[in-house]
């Protein structure tokens, strides 16, 4: 009998990967599957970024790099941060990591232990809760409500903070809801946290460049009063359509940076060298592909919301960020996971049941609009036909 630590009895998963596997399976059997389950842009990484990686390989960048990433890349992250947020950050606080998830994993590992509370959004990215459970800490869900436009409520969040709280996880723009938390609410939250100086904050801003309707993203970095306890999660995956490159960055408080660097030395040594050169080209090269992708997502967002609201029993608020809609399906009479399963198995449309993102996800499904407008239309027709037959 092998005795692994109890965390492995509790560790979870991301069901989006299982849905993707099943969708791929069905497609390989010849079924016409429309994938609105996926959490990644359907665009290719821009050519100049790909070419930078190829060049790095030809130039002989085949070895280890420093564990925290090559210096020019950390400097480029600092310059990009200054350009976008107006905040000056030292490259010595920047860590290059193999994907945004690794920042999340590391931060939760640093603060989670039995007896500790970690607050996380519900519905929210499922790995937050999974990792909190893995460490043995208490997962404390922060309710994210449709009536608040799926934004964080400062009041509700602060009400959950206790002397046991070690870490609060924030995410705006948000997966799975597309919710964007307004600046007034973040102001209130940060002001309230002045009473809790020993609580760390992990701000997941991986969708920070994907906001719509002229809304500006508000980075937690712009609050100097929390600088010594803020871990900022960002990266290339979504902004530059680079999910498969496994690249991300994070900005750490001085006091935690060396812990993070040592964790990297122990666990992954460094991010693969050619990807780092690709990341450098992404940040220092032309940015027009980002704007073009976001403009395309915006068009599809309008289509998906309009079509969802025509479905019997479905209502969908307008998401302000990321590339997800989170329609309320209560009036259809279906449980969310059952609807998602039937839609995939019988109708060939992959979507994700809200409960895969938390307890408050019941009654909702996540619809990703990282697919062509034409495919979104076809998927909505299939859903409309199905619901008309079953309503």
CB of 268 to ligand PLP, least distance (A): 13
CB of 99 to ligand PLP, least distance (A): 3
CA distances from 309 to 313, 317, 332, 380 (A): 9, 9, 12, 10
CB of 103 to ligand PLP, least distance (A): 8
Report the residue number, 248 or 363, with the smaller CB distance to ligand PLP: 248
Report the residue number, 52 or 97, with the smaller CB distance to ligand PLP: 97
CB of 32 to ligand PLP, least distance (A): 25
CB of 100 to ligand PLP, least distance (A): 3
Residue position matching structure tokens 């964007």: 180
CB of 60 to ligand PLP, least distance (A): 27
CA distances from 229 to 30, 88, 196, 207 (A): 51, 16, 11, 21
Name the residue among 344, 385, 353 with its Cα closest to residue 31: 344
Report the residue number, 44 or 390, with the smaller CB distance to ligand PLP: 44
CB of 239 to ligand PLP, least distance (A): 10
Contacts of 334 (CB under 8 A, 6+ apart): 342, 390
CA distance 155 to 133: 25
From edge to edge, which strands make up the β-sheet containing 324-325?
324-325, 365-368, 352-353
CA distance 143 to 140: 9
CB of 373 to ligand PLP, least distance (A): 22
Report the residue number, 67 or 352, with the smaller CB distance to ligand PLP: 352
Interaction site with ligand PLP (CB under 6 A): 39, 99-101, 125, 171, 175, 204, 206, 235, 237, 243, 248
DSSP assignment letter at 315: B
Report the residue number, 246 or 314, with the smaller CB distance to ligand PLP: 246
Contacts of 45 (CB under 8 A, 6+ apart): 240, 241, 242, 245, 278
Residue position matching structure tokens 């599809």: 300
Report the residue number, 35 or 237, with the smaller CB distance to ligand PLP: 237
Q: What are 13's two structure tokens?
A: 């998963």
Report the residue number, 255 or 359, with the smaller CB distance to ligand PLP: 359
CB of 125 to ligand PLP, least distance (A): 4
Name the 3-class secondary structure at 121: strand
Contacts 24+ apart (CB under 8 A), 66-71: 66/270, 67/261, 67/264, 67/265, 67/269, 67/270, 68/94, 68/95, 68/96, 68/260, 68/261, 68/264, 69/94, 69/95, 69/96, 69/249, 69/270, 69/271, 69/276, 70/96, 70/273, 70/276, 70/277, 70/280
CA distance 203 to 100: 11
Report the residue number, 100 or 327, with the smaller CB distance to ligand PLP: 100
CB of 58 to ligand PLP, least distance (A): 26
Report the length, in residues, of the chain.
Answer: 391
Report the residue number, 123 or 235, with the smaller CB distance to ligand PLP: 235
Report the residue number, 351 or 383, with the smaller CB distance to ligand PLP: 351
Cα 50 to chain centroid, rounded: 23
Residue position matching structure tokens 């509700």: 156
CA distance 20 to 2: 32
């Amino acid at each position: 009998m092998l005795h692994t630590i109890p965390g492995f009895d509790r560790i979870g998963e991301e069901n989006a990967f299982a849905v993707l596997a099943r969708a791929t399976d069905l497609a390989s059997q010849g079924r016409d599957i429309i994938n609105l389950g996926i959490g990644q842009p359907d665009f290719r990484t821009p050519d100049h970024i790909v070419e930078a990686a190829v060049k790095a390989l030809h130039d002989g960048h085949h070895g280890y790099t420093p564990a925290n990433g090559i210096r020019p890349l950390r400097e480029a992250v600092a310059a990009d941060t200054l350009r976008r947020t107006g905040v000056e950050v030292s490259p010595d606080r920047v860590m290059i990591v193999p994907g945004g998830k690794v920042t999340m994993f590391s931060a939760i590992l640093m603060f989670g232990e039995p007896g500790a509370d970690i607050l996380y959004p519900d519905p929210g990215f499922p790995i937050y809760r999974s990792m909190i459970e893995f460490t043995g800490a208490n997962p404390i869900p922060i309710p994210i409500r449709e009536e608040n436009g799926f934004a964080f409520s400062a009041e509700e969040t602060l009400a959950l903070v206790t002397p046991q709280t070690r870490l609060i996880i924030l995410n705006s723009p948000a997966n799975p809801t597309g919710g964007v938390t307004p600046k007034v609410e973040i102001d209130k939250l940060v002001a309230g946290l002045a009473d809790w100086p020993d609580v760390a904050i992990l701000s997941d801003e991986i969708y920070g460049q994907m906001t719509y309707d002229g809304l500006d993203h508000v980075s937690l970095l712009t609050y100097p009063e929390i600088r010594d306890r803020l871990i900022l999660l960002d990266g290339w995956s979504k902004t530059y359509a680079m999910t498969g490159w496994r690249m991300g960055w994070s900005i750490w408080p001085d006091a935690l940076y060396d812990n993070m660097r040592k964790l990297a030395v122990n666990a992954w040594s460094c991010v693969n060298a050619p990807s780092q050169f690709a990341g450098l080209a992404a940040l220092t090269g032309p940015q027009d592909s980002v704007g073009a992708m976001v403009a395309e997502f915006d068009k599809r967002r309008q289509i998906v919301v309009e079509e969802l609201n025509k479905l019997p029993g479905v209502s969908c608020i307008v998401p302000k960020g990321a590339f997800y809609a989170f329609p309320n399906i209560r009036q259809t009479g279906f449980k969310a996971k059952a609807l998602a399963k039937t839609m995939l198995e019988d109708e060939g449309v992959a979507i994700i049941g809200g409960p895969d993102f938390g307890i408050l996800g019941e009654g909702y499904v996540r619809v990703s609009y990282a697919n062509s407008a034409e495919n979104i239309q076809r998927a909505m027709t299939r859903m409309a036909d199905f619901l008309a037959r079953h309503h």
